[in-house]
Every structure is written in C-alpha cells, then in structure tokens.
C-alpha cells in the first residue's frame, strides 16, 4: 500500500510538474503572442506614423514644388518682361542709330557734292578795247571746262559770267553789268558771252566799274569747294587810290558813291574762299593789283593773287585759264588733305545757312579778337626752377557720377549732367615763357609742387577775360572727360573683338590762378608726355593717312554709333594712341565749346571717312559709303595719291596681335603712360569697374591708406589717401554701408 501511495504521489507530482510546465509554456507562449501582438501593433503604429510622415512630406514637397514652380514662373515672367524691356531698349537704340545715319546721309552727300564740284566765274571788261578778248572767252570756255574735266572726271562743273562796263552820263545803250548766273549748262554761258557788245559809254573816262563787277561776282550763288574767278581787264577801277591817271581822267576820283571799296571786296573774296586770278593786259592795272594783293593775301590764309601777264596775246587765254583752273582744283584738295588751320580756314563751309570761309578754323579763331603775342622759348625744362616764383593755384577736376555704370544711348543727351566737379588748393611753378605755340593755344611747362607732378599748362591765343576764359577752359576739361569715358568702353569692345589696339585720353584739369590778371586766371593743365605729337584729324573732316590715323578715325566713327548719333569725337591728336585736345560735335551744337560745329561737323567727318578694318570688326555702318567713296576718288585724282586709304596697311595695323604702342594707356592717377601687357587682366578690371594705374601709383595706393571713423555710424573704414589726393576729390566721410543705404558709392 505504501508503495502504491508513493507511486501515486510521484504520479501526482509528475502531473503537477507537467501542468506547471504546460502552464509555464502556455504563459510563455502567451507572452510571446502578446509580445508579437505588441510588436505587430508597434510596427503598425510605426507604419502608420511613417505613412503619415511620408504623406506630410509629400504634401510639403508638393507645396514646395508649387512654390518653386510659381517662383520660377514669376522669375520667368519677370525675366521675360526684363528681356522684352531690354529688347525694346535695344530696338529703340538701334532705331536711333539708324535714324541718325539716315538723317545725316543727305548732309554728307551735300558736303561731297560741294567738295567735288567747281565754280568758275569769268569776269570781263566788255568795253570796246576788249572785243578780241570777249570773242576768245566765248570760244574757249567750253574747251577750258572740257580740258579740266578730262583731268578731273569725278568733279561737277558750273560756270558764270560777269561782264562790266562803266557808268554813263546819259541814257545807257547797254547794260553796265551783264550777268549770267551759275549753271552747269556751260554752252548757255558761252552763248551769253557771245552776245556781249564791246561798247563804250556816253561819257567815257579811263577807269571802269570794276568795283561793281566784283560786288556782282561775290553776290553769285557760290556753292562749290573749288571757287575761282578769272578777271580779265585792261582798265583799273574808279578812285585815284587804284590808278595813276589822276583825278582829271576819272569821273569818280574818290570812287562812285554806290561802290564798295576795293579793300573790302578783296577781303570778302578771301573770306568766301574764292581764288582770284587776273589776266593782265597792260600796266594801267598795276596800282589796283597792288591794293588787291595787299588785302586779299595774308591774314593767315594760303591764297595768293594769281596774276598772269599776257599783254595783247588773247590766244594764250585758253591754256592759261585751263592751267589756273586745274591748279585751283589741286590746291583745294591739298588744303583738304592738310591739318593746319590756315589751309582748312581757306575752305568754304555753310553753317546754319550762312557762308563761312573756313572749315578747320570755324569758331576756333575770331580775327577781331585781341591775340596774345608771347615769346616762345624752346628749351628743355628745369622742373624744380620753373619761372621766378611759386604760385598759389586752385585745381578743378571733373568726375563721372555714374561710377562703374556705362551710359546708355538714351542717356548721352544729358552727359554733361553726369559729371561732378571738385577743387583743391595747391602750389605750382610755371615756366616764364611758353615752350610752344599751336593753332589755338600756347603751351608752358608747369609743376604741381604739392603733388610733385610734371604738367603742361595751356592758354588760348585769344585774349579772353572774365567768364569767357573760365568757360573756355572748363569746356575743354568736360570734352576730355567725355572722351576718356568713351575710350574705356571702346577699348573693351576692341579687345573683345580680338583687336589688340586701345585708345586713351589724358586727364585734364583746370587750374585757377587767383594772383594773375583775368586774361591769365584760368588754364587747362594736362600731364607732360614726351614723344612726337601727331595730328590724326581735325574738327572739320580732315584725316591723316599715316600709321595710327585709322585707329583714331575708327574711334571717331564708333563714338557716333555708341551715342546713337548724339555726338562724335574728332580733332584727334597726341603721342601714339594716347590722345589730347579732342573736339566733340554734338547734335545740339555749341554744347562742347565754340568748336562744336554740331551736325555740320558730323557730316564733314563722314564725307571724308572711309571705313577701315577696325570699323568693320566693330560692326560700324557708314551713313553713306558711296558718297565717301566719291570723295576719296576725287581726292586721289586731284592729288595723284595712291597712299590714301591703303586697306592692306590698315588691316595689318588693325589686327596686329602683339601688345605694343597701340596698347598704351594713361594712368588714371598720375597721368603717366604705360603699356598694357595683359589684356585679360585689363578686361577683368574693367568689368569690375576698376581702372589700371601705373606701378608707382599702385604701390602708393597700397602704402598710403588710413582708417577714418564714419560720420554716421562711427565704424572705422579704410581710405586710400593717394587716390583721393591725385584725383583732387574730397575724402569720404561715410563708410561703404552707410553710403550704400543712401544710394551712394565709395571707394576702398
């Protein structure tokens, strides 16, 4: 029994252990199931959270995409509007350029027409003693024109006739003056001469009405550049001042009351650019010719009275007049191909409907002005001992307000308002005598003692006092500043086109001398540059054909294009490609001083300008290339000069890729000349709105800096003392940030 009980107990214990194990296993399984459920729940929660987060992220991304798309669309619309605006501006600018070219094309043709035509007047005594000469003139006129036309086929010819007799006591049987006006129908003038009767008046005396004939000839419709009057006569004018007959042989010994004096008439022929030829038949006209020569020649003009003595040999009339007319044509074109003032002044030009006797000197010299007569002393300067004293001076300078911003075509009409001026006190020494005299100014050595700069001071030949001298000097400074601004943009465009050629204009300041008299109180002052000065063009169309001139000509052409026809820079001269003393012709005229000829000056430039390789590389368009070609052909024929406009030479010079003399520029601070050897560096600087300076000024700028406190925020900022001192500008009082808030600009 005990064994059974023990067995039962063991069985029960075993069952209990089994139950415990089963329960534990079940609990473990339940725990596992619970854990699995929990893990599954957590996973579902995480999935839901992730899904929610992903949905939210998708929504956020979609929102961002929508925002970006809208921003892009807005930016695109803005860009489109801006591009459309730029397109409209570019379209307007191009239209302005096209209209300006079209506008002056007719004027250019007029200049070429005037320059390639000839006006000839036969002025003859038609009294009885001149019968053979009248017949010869009638016979020979067409032959003369034909002979000259054979040599100069590109020219147009007009002729006129002025026949004269004398005043009569009674009723005149014939006209005292017989006039055939200018016409290209030479045969009609010839027929008019044939109709002249060689008749003496009712109350004859020795003199004839020469003064009346000269007045009538001056009153003709002269319109050509070549102007010649051939005077044929065997008697002097009225007035004992013009002959040796005595008062008894002259009905008007003091001249006829209606006559203009011969002296005045002679000067008028000169001023109108009319060349005067006289066929001398006898000695009775000698005294008259002496007076005529005295008042016709001189006054800085190249004209000479051309007297040909033929005596009674009227058969020599045709060859001599033919030669005189050919010489007249040649001399006209020679004057057009020269730069000196006297030559250009002798060429006629119509400005504002008024006939003026001088291209190059229009508004450059007024003969009625009092002229200075200073002793010129050509010797090397001793810079530390110039003159006999140190003088006080005030230095005036111009600065472009636009900073790094280039002017658009539409802004050039207000260019004068784009500059600000500043002034600073200094001391100088000036040479006692000028070292040179040019066509418009005296040049003297000057040293700025405070800045230690070698300079040249220029004073006009005319005695200008008070405000006129100040205005004259400041107009020059403004012109130079505008040309300097244009040159910087021109250089960028030439370099970008692969043309390794640059132009530069020196800085010009105006110095005021308070201790000097009014006539010397204001002078333009510029850097002293050693080298050979050359004149490449003047202010009325003349252009040199030597090396370097084509770069100056293309710059002039480009300035007209760049400003939409508002202005053109001409009268280019200097050392190499560093220029000074330019003249600007503006659309308004007289905007840039008295030498600003306005539209007429522009027309004369293009009438003689043939586009070269630089022009073509820059995409410049000539307003009327055919007219300019006609002018060039006429000049070639007249001068037998095959060197004019040699395209091969120009192309080599224009495309030379080696940095050299045509890569010189003027230091923006001290004014010295240096060569740009790294064009990429130059272009990089210019794109940043910076200018290159010489090594000396660069070192001085790095060394000569200081810190000043901003007058507005108190923060200290660096100031380049050398820059502001050399520029003549006041040092800034505000830091860059404060100035930027007010829309200003500063410089490190």
Instruction: Give the mean pLDDT of 363-371.
Output: 52
Q: Residue 352 CB: number of other CB atoms within 10 A?
A: 10
Which two tokens mark 276? 């005067």
From residue 241, how far is each of 71, 292, 307, 389, 728 by CA, in Å? 94, 11, 20, 54, 62
Highest mean pLDDT: which range of 26-35, 177-186, 725-734: 177-186
Highest mean pLDDT: which range of 4-8, 42-46, 92-96, 607-611: 607-611
- CA torsion 668→670→674→676, rounded to 10°? -20
Question: How much is the CA Rg of the chain, to the nearest whole Å?
Answer: 43
Q: What is the DSSP letter of 548?
A: T
User: What is the tens place of the pLDDT at every residue in 312-323?
Assistant: 888 899 999 999
What pLDDT score was predicted for residue 248?
Answer: 87
What pLDDT score was predicted for residue 366?
Answer: 39
> Which DSSP string do the residues of 559-571 spell out, in sequence order?
HHHHTTTSEEEE-
3-state secondary structure of 555: helix
Helix%, strand%, coil% for the chain, nearest 5: 45, 20, 35
- Provide the CA 233 distance to its chain's centre, in angstroms: 47
What pTM did the predictor assign?
0.75
Q: Phi then psi for 711, rounded to 5 degrees?
A: -70, -10
List the Cα angle 557/558/563 in 5-degree steps.
Answer: 110
Give one word for 700, left, alpha or beta, with left for phi > 0 and alpha for psi -120 to 50: alpha
As a three-state string, the secondary structure of 456-481 is EEEEECECCCCHHHHHHHHHHHHHHH
Q: What is the DSSP letter of 730?
A: P
Report whether 685 contacts 691 (CB < 8 A).
yes
User: What is the tens place of the pLDDT at every residue in 667-716?
Assistant: 988 988 888 888 888 888 888 877 788 999 989 998 998 999 998 888 99
Residue 115 has pLDDT above 60, yes or no: yes
Instruction: Give the mean pLDDT of 395-417.
Output: 72
At residue 59 the predicted structure's pLDDT band, cuts being 50, 70 and 90, is confident
Residue 221 has pLDDT above 90, yes or no: yes
Which two tokens mark 525? 């002052």
At residue 347 the predicted structure's pLDDT band, cuts being 50, 70 and 90, is low
Which two tokens mark 605? 């430039």
What pLDDT score was predicted for residue 44?
Answer: 75
Which two tokens mark 643? 């060197």
From residue 420, how far is each of 121, 187, 359, 481 by CA, in Å? 55, 64, 33, 11
Residue 363 has pLDDT above 70, yes or no: no
Q: Phi then psi for 305, rounded to 5 degrees?
A: -65, 125
What pLDDT score was predicted for residue 683?
Answer: 85
List the Cα angle 518/523/524 in 5-degree steps.
Answer: 160
Q: Phi then psi for 533, rounded to 5 degrees?
A: -75, 135
Instruction: Give the mean pLDDT of 165-176.
Output: 62
3-state secondary structure of 257: coil
More confident residue, 419 or 480: 480
What pLDDT score was predicted for residue 62?
Answer: 63
Which of 555, 554, 539 minimizes the C-alpha distance to 504?
A: 555
What pLDDT score was predicted for residue 660?
Answer: 45
Q: Which of 50-59, 387-396, 612-621 has the lowest mean pLDDT?
A: 50-59
Residue 488 has pLDDT above 80, yes or no: yes
Euclidean distance between CA atoms 504 and 150, whole angstroms: 46
What pLDDT score was predicted for residue 555?
Answer: 95
Which of 710, 682, 703, 281 minimizes the C-alpha distance to 487?
A: 682
What pLDDT score was predicted for residue 46?
Answer: 74
Residue 353 has pLDDT above 60, yes or no: no
What pLDDT score was predicted for residue 71?
Answer: 61
At residue 560 the predicted structure's pLDDT band, cuts being 50, 70 and 90, is very high
Residues linked to residue 425 through DSSP beta bridges, in sequence order: 394
Euclidean distance between CA atoms 531 and 518, whole angstroms: 33
For the chain, the average pLDDT equals 82
Euclidean distance between CA atoms 660 and 256, whole angstroms: 69
Report whether 270 contacts 296 (CB < 8 A).
yes
As a three-state string, the secondary structure of 327-396 is HHHHHHHHHHCCCCHHHHHCCCEEECCEEECCCCCCCCCCCCCCECCCCCCCCCCCHHHCCCCCEEEEEE
Residues linked to residue 177 through DSSP beta bridges, in sequence order: 164
User: What is the tens place of the pLDDT at every residue in 611-639?
Assistant: 999 999 999 999 999 998 888 888 877 77
What pLDDT score was predicted for residue 342?
Answer: 46
At residue 75 the predicted structure's pLDDT band, cuts being 50, 70 and 90, is low
Instruction: Give the mean pLDDT of 579-591.
Output: 89
Euclidean distance between CA atoms 137 and 120, whole angstroms: 13
């Amino acid at each position: 029994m005990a064994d059974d009980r023990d067995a039962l107990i063991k069985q029960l214990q075993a069952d209990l252990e089994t139950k415990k194990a089963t329960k534990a296993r079940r609990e473990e399984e339940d725990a596992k199931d619970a854990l699995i459920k929990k893990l599954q729940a957590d996973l579902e929660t995480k999935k839901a959270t992730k899904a929610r987060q992903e949905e939210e992220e998708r929504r956020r991304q979609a929102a961002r995409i929508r925002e970006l798309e809208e921003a892009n669309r807005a930016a695109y619309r803005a860009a489109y509007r801006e591009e459309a605006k730029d397109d409209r501006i570019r379209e307007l600018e191009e239209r302005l350029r096209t209209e300006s070219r079209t506008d002056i094309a007719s004027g250019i043709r007029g200049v070429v027409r005037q320059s390639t035509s000839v006006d000839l007047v036969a002025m003859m005594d038609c009294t009885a003693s001149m019968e053979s000469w009248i017949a010869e003139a009638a016979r020979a006129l067409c032959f003369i024109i034909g002979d000259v036309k054979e040599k100069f086929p590109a020219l147009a010819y007009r002729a006129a006739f002025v026949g004269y007799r004398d005043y009569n006591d009674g009723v005149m049987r014939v006209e005292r003056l017989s006039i055939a006006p200018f016409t290209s129908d030479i045969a009609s003038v010839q027929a008019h001469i044939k109709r002249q009767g060689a008749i003496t008046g009712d109350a004859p005396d020795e003199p004839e009405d020469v003064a009346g004939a000269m007045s009538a000839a001056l009153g003709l419709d002269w319109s050509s550049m070549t102007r010649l009057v051939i005077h044929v006569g065997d008697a002097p004018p009225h007035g004992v001042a013009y002959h040796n007959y005595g008062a008894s042989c002259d009905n008007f010994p003091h001249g006829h009351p209606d006559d203009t004096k011969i002296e005045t008439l002679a000067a008028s022929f000169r001023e109108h650019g009319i060349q005067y030829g006289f066929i001398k038949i006898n000695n009775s006209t000698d005294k008259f010719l002496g007076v005529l020569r005295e008042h016709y020649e001189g006054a800085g003009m190249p004209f000479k009275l051309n007297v040909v003595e033929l005596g009674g040999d009227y058969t020599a009339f045709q060859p001599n007049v033919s030669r005189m007319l050919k010489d007249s044509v040649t001399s006209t074109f020679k004057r057009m191909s020269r730069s000196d003032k006297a030559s250009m002044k002798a060429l006629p030009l119509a400005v504002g409907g008024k006939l003026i006797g001088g291209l190059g000197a229009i508004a450059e010299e007024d003969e009625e002005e009092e002229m200075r007569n200073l002793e010129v002393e050509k010797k090397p300067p001793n810079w530390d001992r110039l003159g006999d004293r140190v003088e006080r001076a005030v230095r005036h300078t111009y600065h472009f307000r636009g900073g790094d911003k280039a002017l658009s075509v539409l802004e050039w009409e207000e260019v004068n308002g784009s500059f600000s001026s500043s002034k600073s006190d200094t001391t100088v020494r000036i040479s006692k005598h000028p070292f040179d005299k040019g066509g418009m100014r005296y040049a003297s050595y000057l040293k700025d003692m405070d800045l230690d700069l070698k300079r040249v001071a220029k004073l006009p030949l005319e005695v200008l006092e008070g405000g006129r001298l100040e205005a004259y000097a400041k107009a020059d400074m403004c012109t130079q500043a505008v040309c300097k601004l244009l040159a910087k943009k021109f250089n960028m465009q030439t370099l970008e086109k692969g043309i390794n050629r640059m132009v530069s204009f020196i800085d010009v300041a105006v110095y005021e001398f308070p201790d000097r008299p009014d006539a010397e109180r204001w002078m333009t002052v510029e850097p002293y540059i050693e080298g050979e000065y050359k004149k490449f063009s003047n202010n009325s169309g003349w252009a040199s054909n030597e090396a370097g001139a084509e770069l100056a000509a293309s710059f002039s052409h480009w300035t007209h294009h760049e400003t939409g026809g508002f202005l053109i820079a001409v009268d280019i001269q200097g050392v190499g490609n560093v220029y000074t003393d330019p003249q600007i012709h503006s659309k308004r005229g007289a905007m840039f001083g008295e030498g600003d000829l306005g539209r007429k000056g522009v027309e004369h430039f293009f009438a003689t300008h043939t586009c070269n390789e630089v022009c073509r590389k820059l995409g410049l368009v000539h307003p009327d290339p055919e007219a300019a070609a006609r002018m060039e052909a006429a000049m070639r024929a007249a001068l037998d000069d095959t060197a004019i406009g040699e395209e091969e030479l120009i192309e080599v010079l224009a495309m030379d890729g080696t940095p050299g003399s045509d890569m010189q520029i003027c230091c923006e601070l001290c004014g010295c000349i240096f060569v740009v050897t790294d064009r990429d560096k130059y272009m990089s600087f210019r794109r940043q709105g910076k200018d290159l300076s010489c090594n000396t000024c660069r070192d001085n700028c790095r060394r000569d800096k200081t810190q000043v406190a901003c007058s507005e925020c108190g923060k200290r900022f660096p100031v380049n003392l050398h820059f502001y001192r050399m520029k003549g500008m006041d040092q800034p009082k505000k830091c860059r940030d404060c100035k930027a808030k007010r829309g200003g600009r500063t410089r490190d």
